[in-house]
């Protein structure tokens, strides 16, 4: 009789980088970044913390790098169905913002020096949209960083919940994000 390969002697699936990152992301989203410890992560995976090091030799650094890669990766580029590249950029920015806000606990890690490669793919995907719109290369370079910076920075402001000056009336962040985006896309004319 053949043992099922996905069930080991202790009757649980073997560890994998994907499962580790998934569990870590669930802890950060649910309890905050400061609650992510190797020991707690081990508990969530029903394994001793030290087992994680077998899959992530660089330890917690590598774990955090993985979280950044997962969250900061480019959103699916909208199908470039002709003409409306400006609308494509708007969609790109909205999708990316949504992803960042869905994992707000990881945002501080995105801002850290770690994992330099994590955002290059993202910039590439932005530049592609612009190339389809025949934006000149040097203007596109500026616009890409400006747009990406705006999205990340605005997400940071939202997470912080910056109060309005003086009055404490609520801010409609969705509307405000779109309005700022328009400012930027107008200038990128």
Partner DNA sequence: ACCTGAACACCGTTCAAGT
Take residue 170 and report the two structure tokens written for it. 């609520």
CB count within 10 Å of CB 13 equals: 11
How big is the chain by its Cα radius of gyration, in Å?
20
Question: Which window, 41-49, 69-77, 94-102, 164-172, contacts DNA (CB under 7 A)?
Answer: 41-49
Rounded distance, CA 38 to CA 50, Å? 8
Does 163 participate in binding DNA (rule CB under 7 A)? no
Which of 85, 97, 81 lies closest to 154, judged by CA? 97
Of 90 and 154, which has the nearer Cβ to a copy of itself?
Answer: 154
Of 41 and 119, which has the nearer Cβ to DNA?
Answer: 41
Name residues whose C-beta falls within 8 Å of residue 94's C-beta, 6 or more positions apart in sequence. Answer: 177, 178, 181
Closest approach of a copy of itself to the CB of residue 133, in Å = 15
Closest approach of a copy of itself to the CB of residue 46, in Å = 29
Does 61 participate in binding DNA (rule CB under 7 A)? yes
Site residues for a copy of itself per CB under 8 A: 104, 107-113, 116-117, 119-120, 123-124, 127, 141-143, 145-146, 148-157, 159-166, 171, 176, 179-180, 182-189
């Amino acid at each position: 009789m053949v043992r099922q390969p996905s069930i080991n002697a202790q009757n649980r699936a073997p560890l994998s980088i994907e499962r580790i990152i998934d569990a870590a992301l669930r802890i950060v989203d649910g309890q905050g970044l400061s609650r992510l410890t190797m020991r707690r992560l081990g508990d969530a995976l029903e394994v001793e913390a030290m087992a994680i090091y077998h899959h992530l030799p660089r330890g917690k650094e590598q774990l955090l790098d993985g979280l950044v890669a997962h969250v900061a990766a480019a959103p699916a580029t909208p199908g470039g169905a002709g003409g409306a590249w400006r609308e494509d950029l708007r969609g790109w920015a909205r999708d990316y913002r949504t992803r960042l806000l869905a994992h707000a606990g990881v945002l501080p890690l995105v801002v850290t020096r770690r994992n330099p490669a994590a955002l290059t793919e993202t910039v590439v995907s932005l530049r592609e949209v612009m190339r389809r719109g025949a934006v000149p290369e040097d203007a596109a370079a500026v616009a890409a960083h400006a747009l990406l910076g705006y999205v990340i920075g605005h997400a940071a402001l939202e997470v912080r919940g910056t109060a309005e000056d003086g009055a404490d009336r609520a801010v409609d962040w969705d509307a405000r994000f779109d309005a700022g985006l328009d400012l930027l896309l107008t200038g990128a004319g």
